[in-house]
Amino acid sequence: METADADIVLLLQKTGDEVSRVVWEIESLGYSVATVRSPPTKDSLRSILERFPRAIVITPGGVPGDFLEFGGRVVKGTYSLKPLPKVLRIMEPQGLSPVLPAEKLLGSRFVEVVKDVLGEVASGISGFNPPASPPPIFVLSEVYVDGFPSVFDAILEAAYRAAQGADVVVIGASGGDSESFATVFAAAARDLGIEAGVDPPSHGFLEAGLPPGFPKPVVYMSVWEGGEVPNIESRFTTVLPRYRSNDTLQMAEDILRSCKWGVREGLNPIIDPVLRRPGALPYPFESLAALKIARERGMECPAMVGINNVYEMIDADTTGSIPVLTLASAESGASAILVGEESTKSRGATAEARIASYMVSYALATGSPPKDLGFGLLESKEKSPGYRPPSGCYALKLLPRRWKDFVV
């Protein structure tokens, strides 16, 4: 709508279908809306205010400087346009700030907007079911049974990982007792009601320890392309490509081939591009680049990235590295990440990955940076034995801990 009587003028940096949708949503709130594509210079703003004498001009939230000289008629909205209608359900345009973006202005109340956006992302999700492209980004957390003194301790750890926000708890082992392994999985999946997967050291290892009434794993981990197919039925199977070289383009072809192989074998495959530790070839971000190219070339299988092998091998805290790795994985086309908590440094990685999943899913859904959302990864800088994630993360207190728990 282009009328001098507009209540709101949206100052745009670009146009497209997104703009039409946002205008429609704001107009459904009872406002008349005009749009102007113009740089946020003082001269252009004065011209717009003369053209629309009744309107409040809303600029993008990330525009530098302030607009105090315009007497409240020029204010800052959200970093990107998509969340703005949700903000205007909470606050009238006159209440927006000429200095602060809406995210900072609303502070803890902005979590209402975040929850609304994530609820839309979670619409239709009833369990672990990663899409071909994110969002959402699911979180899997692996518990190695042979790293605990008893079966009971391993079961407690599985319950802890679920409580910290894992969509799927993967029961893994590098060896040890197959019966104990199967018992931990059965207790998690059947007795505790946790969505659980398995990552045995070999196919026969798990089959030897199966108890009666063994529940179906949500995901069976780490089947190599072209290798032996497990006899155990699962909802999904992660397939690892056999890379022929370290050339990124060839790796992309290998990823495509592994997807097709998994489909032919009826595995309902999730591709794991295999991130090696930093310094090893192929480098971690080369694997992600290959995944992105494979996605651009038409790969339809969902992908899961195991980021723990990277953050464990960098002398940097997981509170920073996990969000960056999650963002890089999602931008490459992965809709699931796998974490572990095998060291003191990585204790709390499941909760941090849960937060990162929500931050990155919000960013992908809205086009906004994952900033000023109410999440508390900045609160924790020191870790010691017995560390638990910070309790002061306001947003996580108000949000469900798994995608399937959102009520849409």
Overall average pLDDT of the 230-239 stretch? 92
Per-residue confidence (pLDDT) for residue 393, from 0 to 100: 63
Q: Which CATH number fits the domain that encloses residue 350?
A: 3.20.20.20
> Considering its fold, how many domains does the chain have in total?
2
Do 340 and 392 belong together in one domain?
yes
CA–CA dist 145, 70 (Å, integer) = 63
pLDDT per position as a tens digit, 83-119? 999 999 999 999 999 999 999 999 989 999 999 999 9
* 96 or 374, which is more confident: 96
Model confidence at 390: pLDDT above 60: no
357 pLDDT band, cuts 50/70/90, is very high
Final residue in a domain of this structure, among 61, 89, 121: 121
Overall average pLDDT of the 180-190 stretch? 91
Residue 132 falls inside a structural domain: no
Contact by Cβ (8 Å): 374, 151: no
Final residue in a domain of this structure, among 73, 92, 121: 121
Do 64 and 179 belong together in one domain?
no
Contact by Cβ (8 Å): 352, 378: no
pLDDT per position as a tens digit, 300-331? 999 999 999 999 888 888 888 999 999 999 99
* 402 or 331, which is more confident: 331
Per-residue confidence (pLDDT) for residue 347, from 0 to 100: 87
Model confidence at 136: pLDDT above 80: yes
1 pLDDT band, cuts 50/70/90, is very low
Final residue in a domain of this structure, among 121, 156, 182: 121
Do 285 and 231 belong together in one domain?
yes
Model confidence at 245: pLDDT above 80: yes
Per-residue confidence (pLDDT) for residue 402, from 0 to 100: 85
Q: What is the mean pLDDT of the chain?
A: 90
Do 87 and 214 belong together in one domain?
no
* 22 or 230, which is more confident: 22
Residues contacting residue 64 through CB under 8 Å, at least 6 positions apart: none
Structural domain of residue 186, as residue ranges?
A: 138-402
Residue 318 falls inside a structural domain: yes
The pairs formed by 208-212 with CB atoms below 8 angstroms and a separation of 24 or more are: 208/178, 208/179, 209/177, 209/178, 209/179, 209/180, 209/181, 209/182, 209/183, 210/182, 211/179, 211/182, 211/183, 211/186
210 pLDDT band, cuts 50/70/90, is low
Q: Which CATH number fits the domain that encloses residue 15?
A: 3.40.50
Within a 13 Å sphere around the CA of 33, how many CA atoms are in the beta-carbon half? 22
Per-residue confidence (pLDDT) for residue 139, from 0 to 100: 98
Per-residue confidence (pLDDT) for residue 176, from 0 to 100: 76
342 pLDDT band, cuts 50/70/90, is confident
pLDDT per position as a tens digit, 248-270? 999 999 999 999 999 999 999 99
Per-residue confidence (pLDDT) for residue 158, from 0 to 100: 96
Do 209 and 335 belong together in one domain?
yes
